[in-house]
Structures are given as structure tokens and as C-alpha cells.
Chains A and B, each alone.
Chain A
């Protein structure tokens, strides 16, 4: 049974509190019990508590699958990119190096690549993935476009990303603030203690030009 078309996965790093409920819950999932497929990282803990949860973005044209010499990575008809299948996977690690989001991991002991499969055992029967169900900040959200539009007026979902010459569209959406300047995050307490306000935000400028020009808001 495929994942229902109208249900999508949304990531909103602005909401993330780094609690690792997603990481812990991911290990409870039936398709990879005992292993977490989520990457949750501090951007730079010395300066900020900002964390970013990364699940597989489930690309429409998955780079991991394109570079796989053994054709071991399959994308199901409903757009979910699965972990490598045995016995095809030769554990070469091409996918690990090629994925622009840094998602796949090679499990040397088992000689296989495993990655987030959107809790296919759950999402394919209409349940939410484990991480998005438990996430206390709902930085990870699973639902319809209508729900996210109603619940998150301050952000817009995007699913098109440019890496050099490569443009990738994904099944998973990233929530991007609609107004970039109004809600800088607090970073350094010393700056907050000063009478004259100092720039308290850190802007991540990954792409040249205006990275949000293509965002329809």
C-alpha cells in the first residue's frame, strides 16, 4: 500500500529544540529497529543552540540512486526512496558521497547502506512517521499542504534546492521564514546584555544572490 498522496513531510529547523526525541523514536521504527536514520546536529554549539534535524529529502530524481553502480536504491511509486536492498548493495559508499543532503550512511558491519525511508511501515498505512509523531516542537511535521498553510503562516514550504549546477526537487519540504529580517535568533547572551542592540543573528548565506527569489510566498 502506497503512502497517501496528500500527506507530506515538512522540516522547520526554526522550531527545532535539539531534544532528540526524533532520534530516539527513529530507533523504534520497524524497518530499522535499533538504528536511528535521522541526523540531528548542532550548527555550531559554541555559538548557538540551533540544531537542524535532517531526514531523507526523498528526491524526485535521487542522486543516491543515480550514482549507485548496483541499482540497489529504489524509489517507490509514491516517491519514497528506500534504503539499499540486499543482496544488490555492494557497500561501495557512492551514495554516501553523492547525496547533496548528506543523508545515507554505510553500515560497515552489515555491508549495507541504510537511510530514512519515511517509516514506510507506518506512512504506507496512513500513519505518521515516528519522528514527526513524537516531535515536541513539531519541527518535523507530517500532514497535508492545507494543514501546514493554516498552521504556519510565518513560513513557506520549499522543495526545490540548487547545488551548483544541479537543481533538486524533493518530496520533503523545508519551511523557510517568509520575512527574513524580523525574527533573528538570539545567539550570544553578552550581546543581549548590552544597552545598544547589536546584531544578534547569524545569517546562513549558502547560495549566491537571493536564495529565496524562487519562493512563492
Chain B
């Protein structure tokens, strides 16, 4: 039974989101903290260093941590106010059970009873329908220790192949492209390498709002002579001051990259020596690009020829450069091709593996990097190993003390996992750090799937929108209530430090997972006593894999203020033990040794060469047409994060941007008779959504933008299409056909819901 126990408004009344504010010790200037805890922000993949002010068992404020080299004290508004997620009125302090007789739909349940109930239901479902009838969903905001444990729990304790994570919505297009092109999946250089470069190309990344700290690096590079190219359907704050803005039509990025590469080929702006010595596959790519003439590229992408020419000239003739991309080009059914298109531009220039020249994807979540390396992804084992590779399977089975035959094979992506629920193949779900009812596309389908589950367990610190459907909710931990590591945007492994204890009956997430394993009477391998112990096993499990953490220790992270992987405990060339490997800040340096190429070259393939891949343009699924003539694109605002479970509960962040709006160009608004602030209805083939219009000249006239952080009737993902990239399975959040009209009346929710609800 996973239907909602009571009306949504009753759940909201009790569990929020309500707003926290600065009160008590947090407002007083006479209260001194007991201690300052050096740690990192709980939100995005930049993972800014921050010091939390702690008094008793409460985080009462923050102090900038200016020594941490990545952000040197800088923070965005989310980082400044993140401390207000603690001591929150909505915080879950007991386990809950679904209870339609309770006014709020849920009743408290003693923790041990809750664990016994969860284990009992998992056992019942597995006995009745088979082991594979249980699915597990994880998330990339968890520490690497937790993601490792969750992957092991699914495979070893539950013995189900069906685990996946919310990085499926985030990092997988970049990851798949990196794997195909480089044989390794990590940003190539530390951000400090950006200052002093000639050209920075930002493709589909609203840096100012989604990774604000990167702004200063880009501005500083520009002060020292870099030209900045920004490719985006909107003039984001970073595009406003860039040197060349490419107003690309949503869903046409691969065409743009092919067209630019074609100009570079025609003008011979190529690094022939690099292409010859260090790559393969260039001829096929050049052959494909031939059809992308300047005129055709301009026509398809909506970017004028003069701008394409300028981009090609700056990129083609630079001596040093950086290229970044993010969800803007990755959230597409053509996401992997888009990312490969950028890589082709980088490889053709030869500017990689050097100081001041790099390539990378800007990760979205706290552990967007580390969370995709150690086994909560459906096709993966720790150390970035492949679950279908017999040698990899044997190694990990050995570390886990199981027979390789008992290790499940590859599962399915998170969206497919819901389709399996829909088809009745998966009957039970355990979810942590994932809010698919808000964050997955076409989310009314997700709601229907949740309603079909026989038993749904959610681990969470607030009751998120998906957990409304849960039979049992287990009270988990906030980031500041636990310790562990995460790997941030540069590939730098950093240490999260515990500031306070979990309140009430809440538990650290890794303890909850182990408690379930124990209650299932399968405790073997789940008897860790602290995160450090999990990390020590992870070091062994990652050893010899591409993402090799074997030389990383908590102490080394603290001393060095972060360690870039790979970091070896044995010299990959000689096998001799080394205890002081510093890590690898910069990948692919000429003459560098890696365990795959074994000296044959700098890239992670047996021949040491990077791969050009034909990066084909394919029009989006559900593209704009006569019936739905506009493009809908979605994204973030600076004061909110992902599905808003945390940020929609922090008063000052909600006040900054309270409710979603439909952003549209004045030309479009005039045509539709919509004025700024009017209620407008956006419709796609999945549904309709009524929000206030924001009329601004900073968006293409054929495109509307809606931020996705809100649930229910305000959720942008009611409209988005569940089309996925065939390789990465990332959903196509960034484009679908849509139409807009002036709303007949305010939406029903306007009278009953607070802005954040």
C-alpha cells in the first residue's frame, strides 16, 4: 500500500515544508559557539569549505573557512544559510508508519519496530516474488562511504541487481562520454588552472546560479586575458558579461559542436601532431562534420554564422583553453553525443593534459563525482569497475567475501526501475536521498508507480514528497550529523566532519542500512562501527580500479586539504608499495603512467590514446511542432537546490525566490497577451502547469524556462518528457515541445499553499 494515507494538505500541515528562521542562539550576538567545525557545504558539487558554529547540539551559524583552497571563504546564499536546516520543526526524530487514521497520515513507530517491519516486508516480498522484486534508490548527495555501503547492501544483502541513484538525472551523460573518449571519468584539471588560459567555453552551464564559486575563477581568468564563450538559450548572469554569447536553440548542441569543428577543419585550426600521436578516430569525425556547413549549422542551431565563426576562430587559434559543460547539454536524449561533441573540440585542439588547458563537467550534487564511482550505479562496482566484467566481479566478490556467482549482474536505470514497478516486476522499494516524485520527468507516472508498490521504505531527515507514499519512514541523518568523504567537482576528495549528533531516534544512514541487514539476518559484511572503517574497505575495493582511492586516508585529506584521485598505495608501474602518493591533480599529462595504458600513452586505454567519437546531432524527442510550437527548458535558481527538500525549508532562501515562474521573452509575451506577473499556463503532451509569468529579454523568444525545485501542482516535471539518452539513460529535461496561454484564473493551489509548498 503506497497510496497517500490522507489528503496532501494534511501531510503538509504536519510535516511541511515549513520555514526555519534565525531565532534564539542563531539571532543572538551574545551567544558564543562552543566550537567551530571545519567541513563543507551540504549542497552542490563545488563543496565549498565552511566552518559551522556549534553550541551544544545545535549548529547556530557559520564562519567562512578562508584557508580551504577551492573557495577561500566564498559561499553562495545556500552555503550561507545551510545551517538553518538543522534544529528544524519539520525534522523527523522518530520512525513513522503510514496511518490513514492519523490526521497527518503518519504515526510514530519505535525505531527497532520500524526496522523489524521493514526487514519483515523485504523478506516477505523476496520470498513471494523473488529477490529481484526489491529495488533500491540512492543519491549523489550521500558520502562516498554511504554510496559504497548501499551498493554492497543491494548486491550482497538483498542480492538484487536493481539499484540505481539520482546521479542518473545528473552525471551519467558526461560520465558515459568521458568513458568512451578518455577511459576515465573525471574533470582533468584543478580549477586554479583556469586562471591564465586563453579561452573558456562554457556549454550549457548556468555557472552563476548552479555553481556560483566557479564564477570568480572565470572572471579572474578573463581579467588576465581569457575570452569567455557561453552557449545557452538564456543570457544567464555569466553570459551577460561574456565575450561571445551563443544563443543556441534547445536540443541542438551536437550540431553546434560539429559545425564549429568543421570550420576548424576547413581553416586547419587543428593540432595535427596531437591528433596523430595521442588519438584515434579523427577521420570518421571529420567525415561526419563535413555535412555541417556554416549555413546549415546556423540554421539548425539558431546561432548566427558570425558567432559560430568567431567561436571557431577563438577556439581554433588559442594556445591554452578550458571547456566546461553541465546539464544544459547533458539533459538530453542526445546527451552523450552532445558531451562527445565538446570532447572532439578539445581533442582536435590538442589542449588537454597541460597546465592552463583542461576539460570538465561541472557536477551538480555534493558527491556527483564520488557518488558515481563506487557502486550505487546499476552497472557498476567500486573503483569505477564494470559489473559485467568477469575480472572486476571476481575482485570485488573477493573483497566482499562472497562467491562471484552470487553477485548480481547489471540492473536498470532509475527511470526503468519505475517502469518495472509499473509492470509489477518490482514490488518493494527502499529509497534514500532521492525525491523522484519531484525530480523525475513526467512525474505523474512516478506517482502512479509509487501507488502500486506493496511496500515502500524511505530513509530521510525531512518527509520529502516521495516519502508521503511510504509505508515506513526511517529517520536518517543530515550531512552535519555524520562524517565521511565526498569527491567534488575537480576530482578532489574532501572530508565531511560531524558537527552535531542526530536528534531523537534519528540515526546515521549507514547504521540504518546495517540495522536492516541485521534484522534480515544477513549481517555479514555490514558490521562497520564507523565511516572510517567503511572507507578503509572502500580503499581496498577501489584498488586497481580506474578510480583508485587506495592511497587516500582521512589524515591525508585533512593535511593536504583534499586529495585528487587516482591516489595509489602501490606504484601502478612497479607494484612497489608507496605510502606518500599525493594524488593526481591533473590528468593526461604527457609521459604520465596509468594502469590501463601501462606507459603506452596518457589516456586510460590499452593503447594510451584518446578516442574521437562521431557525435551525431539527433533532434529531440517530442520536439516543438505546430501543436506545441515552443521549447520548454528547465533548470535551477541560485537560492534553491534540486527538489527543494532542504532549501524549501530555509526561510531566507525561500524569500529570495519564493515560487516558480514561467520565464518568457517580451516578443512571445506580447503575442500571447501576457504581462509580467500574469498567471500563465504552460502545456505539454504530459500535462499543464499554471504559474506567474516573468517577462524578460534574456531568453530566446521561442523558448520558455521553468525552474524545477517545487512539488505537486507547481512541479515543472509534470510537463517534461520521459525520453532518455540511449546510452546514459539521462532524461531529456532541457527540451520538449510546449505551448503557453494566459491563464483563465489563478490556480487552485494559490489560495491554500504557501510559496514553498
Task: Please give, as numbers and ranges, the residues of chain B lying within 8 Å of A128 by CB-CB distance.
Answer: 73
Task: Please give, as numbers and ranges, the residues of chain A lying within 8 Å of B300 by CB-CB distance.
Answer: none
B724 to chain A, nearest CB (A): 28
| CB-based contact B697/A151 at 8 Å | no
**A49 interfacial by beta-carbon distance below 8 Å:** yes
The complex places the Cα of A130 from the Cα of B699 at a distance, in Å, of 33
| CB-based contact A190/B665 at 8 Å | yes
Task: Please give, as numbers and ranges, the residues of chain A lying within 8 Å of B237 by CB-CB distance.
Answer: 16-19, 49, 51
Q: Given that A17-B237, A49-B698 are known contacts, is A137 also in contact with B243, CB under 8 Å in the complex?
A: no
Contact mask for chain A residues 18-56; partner B; CB cutoff 8 A; 1 contact, 0 none: 111101110110110110000000000111111100000
| CB-based contact B80/A188 at 8 Å | no
Closest to A136 in B: B212
Task: Please give, as numbers and ranges, the residues of chain A lying within 8 Å of B245 by CB-CB distance.
Answer: 186, 192
Closest to B207 in A: A17
| CB-based contact B208/A33 at 8 Å | no
| CB-based contact B22/A187 at 8 Å | no
| CB-based contact A33/B697 at 8 Å | no
| CB-based contact B77/A23 at 8 Å | yes
| CB-based contact A136/B215 at 8 Å | yes
Closest to A25 in B: B80
Task: Please give, as numbers and ranges, the residues of chain A lying within 8 Å of B652 by CB-CB distance.
Answer: 24, 27
Q: In this complex, which of A33, A186, A189 has the most chain B Cβ atoms within 10 angstroms of its Cβ?
A: A189
**B107 interfacial by beta-carbon distance below 8 Å:** no
B307 to chain A, nearest CB (A): 7
| CB-based contact A133/B240 at 8 Å | no
B290 to chain A, nearest CB (A): 23
Q: In this complex, which of A47, A135, A136, A193 has the most chain B Cβ atoms within 10 angstroms of its Cβ?
A: A136
**B695 interfacial by beta-carbon distance below 8 Å:** yes
- Surface stretch bound by A, among B58-66, B159-167, B432-440: B58-66
Closest to B669 in A: A46
Q: Given that A17-B212, A17-B215, A34-B27 are known contacts, is A186 also in contact with B242, CB under 8 Å in the complex?
A: yes
Task: Please give, as numbers and ranges, the residues of chain B lying within 8 Å of A51 by CB-CB distance.
Answer: 237
| CB-based contact B240/A185 at 8 Å | yes
Q: Say which residue of A20, A25, A33 sits within 8 Å of B28 (CB atoms).
A: A33
**A124 interfacial by beta-carbon distance below 8 Å:** no
Number of contact residues on A: which range applies?
Answer: 35 or more
Contact mask for chain A residues 132-166; partner B; CB cutoff 8 A; 1 contact, 0 none: 01111110000000000001111000000000000
Which residues of chain B in 668-722 are interfacial with respect to chain A, using CB atoms and an 8 Å cutoff?
676, 695-701
Contact mask for chain B residues 583-618; partner A; CB cutoff 8 A; 1 contact, 0 none: 000000000000000000000000000000000000
A44 to chain B, nearest CB (A): 10
The complex places the Cα of A15 from the Cα of B208 at a distance, in Å, of 10
| CB-based contact B306/A193 at 8 Å | no
Task: Please give, as numbers and ranges, the residues of chain B lying within 8 Å of A192 by CB-CB distance.
Answer: 235, 245, 247, 304, 307
| CB-based contact B697/A48 at 8 Å | yes
Closest to B71 in A: A136
Q: Given that A19-B638, A20-B639, A49-B235 are known contacts, is A133 also in contact with B80, CB under 8 Å in the complex?
A: no
Task: Please give, as numbers and ranges, the residues of chain B lying within 8 Å of A193 by CB-CB distance.
Answer: 247, 302-304, 700
Which residues of chain B in 187-222 are interfacial with respect to chain A, using CB atoms and an 8 Å cutoff?
208-209, 212-213, 215-216, 219-220, 222
What number of A-B contacts does a CB cutoff of 8 Å give? 162
The complex places the Cα of A136 from the Cα of B210 at a distance, in Å, of 12
Dominant secondary structure at the A interface = loop
The complex places the Cα of A188 from the Cα of B243 at a distance, in Å, of 15
B676 to chain A, nearest CB (A): 7
Q: Given that A20-B656, A187-B235 are known contacts, is A28 also in contact with B62, CB under 8 Å in the complex?
A: yes
Q: Given that A17-B215, A25-B75 are known contacts, is A151 also in contact with B240, CB under 8 Å in the complex?
A: no
| CB-based contact A17/B208 at 8 Å | yes
Number of B residues near A (Cβ < 8 Å) is 64
**B76 interfacial by beta-carbon distance below 8 Å:** yes
**B743 interfacial by beta-carbon distance below 8 Å:** no
Task: Please give, as numbers and ranges, the residues of chain B lying within 8 Å of A46 by CB-CB distance.
Answer: 666, 676, 695-697
B698 to chain A, nearest CB (A): 6
| CB-based contact A190/B667 at 8 Å | yes
Q: Say which residue of A47, A186, A190, A194 sits within 8 Å of B239 (CB atoms).
A: A186
Which residues of chain B in 457-485 are interfacial with respect to chain A, using CB atoms and an 8 Å cutoff?
none
Task: Please give, as numbers and ranges, the residues of chain B lying within 8 Å of A27 by CB-CB distance.
Answer: 22, 652
Closest to B81 in A: A24
**B234 interfacial by beta-carbon distance below 8 Å:** yes
A142 to chain B, nearest CB (A): 11
| CB-based contact A28/B61 at 8 Å | yes
| CB-based contact B697/A136 at 8 Å | no
Q: Given that A19-B209, A189-B235, A189-B700 are known contacts, is A134 also in contact with B638, CB under 8 Å in the complex?
A: no
Q: Given that A136-B212, A136-B216, A188-B698 are known contacts, is A20 also in contact with B240, CB under 8 Å in the complex?
A: no
Closest to A14 in B: B241
A68 to chain B, nearest CB (A): 25
Q: Given that A34-B22, A152-B223 are known contacts, is A134 also in contact with B74, CB under 8 Å in the complex?
A: yes
Closest to B21 in A: A34
B540 to chain A, nearest CB (A): 38
**B233 interfacial by beta-carbon distance below 8 Å:** yes
Task: Please give, as numbers and ranges, the residues of chain B lying within 8 Å of A135 by CB-CB distance.
Answer: 74
Task: Please give, as numbers and ranges, the residues of chain A lying within 8 Å of B27 by CB-CB distance.
Answer: 33-34
Q: Say which residue of B215, B234, B304, B697 sits within 8 Å of A137 (CB atoms).
A: B215
Q: Say which residue of A16, A136, A152, A188 sits within 8 Å of B76 (CB atoms).
A: A136
Task: Please give, as numbers and ranges, the residues of chain A lying within 8 Å of B233 by CB-CB distance.
Answer: 189
Q: In this complex, which of A46, A48, A192 has the most chain B Cβ atoms within 10 angstroms of its Cβ?
A: A192
Task: Please give, as numbers and ranges, the residues of chain B lying within 8 Å of A30 by CB-CB distance.
Answer: 29
B113 to chain A, nearest CB (A): 41
The complex places the Cα of A150 from the Cα of B715 at a distance, in Å, of 47
Task: Please give, as numbers and ranges, the residues of chain A lying within 8 Å of B666 by CB-CB distance.
Answer: 46
**B57 interfacial by beta-carbon distance below 8 Å:** no
Task: Please give, as numbers and ranges, the residues of chain B lying within 8 Å of A134 by CB-CB distance.
Answer: 64, 73-76, 79-80
| CB-based contact B215/A133 at 8 Å | no
Task: Please give, as numbers and ranges, the residues of chain A lying within 8 Å of B517 by CB-CB distance.
Answer: none
Task: Please give, as numbers and ranges, the residues of chain A lying within 8 Å of B235 by CB-CB distance.
Answer: 48-49, 186-189, 192
**A108 interfacial by beta-carbon distance below 8 Å:** no
Task: Please give, as numbers and ranges, the residues of chain B lying within 8 Å of A49 by CB-CB distance.
Answer: 235-237, 240, 698
**Contacts A/B (CB < 8 Å), 26 sampled:** A17-B238, A17-B638, A19-B76, A20-B656, A23-B77, A24-B77, A24-B656, A28-B62, A46-B666, A49-B240, A50-B240, A134-B79, A136-B71, A136-B75, A136-B213, A137-B212, A138-B74, A138-B219, A151-B223, A153-B223, A187-B698, A189-B247, A190-B667, A190-B700, A192-B235, A192-B307
Ranked 5 nearest A-B pairs via Cβ: A17-B208, A17-B237, A136-B212, A188-B697, A24-B80
| Further 6 A-B residue pairs, CB within 8 A, beyond A16-B237, A134-B64, A137-B215 | A19-B77, A24-B77, A33-B22, A48-B240, A154-B223, A186-B245
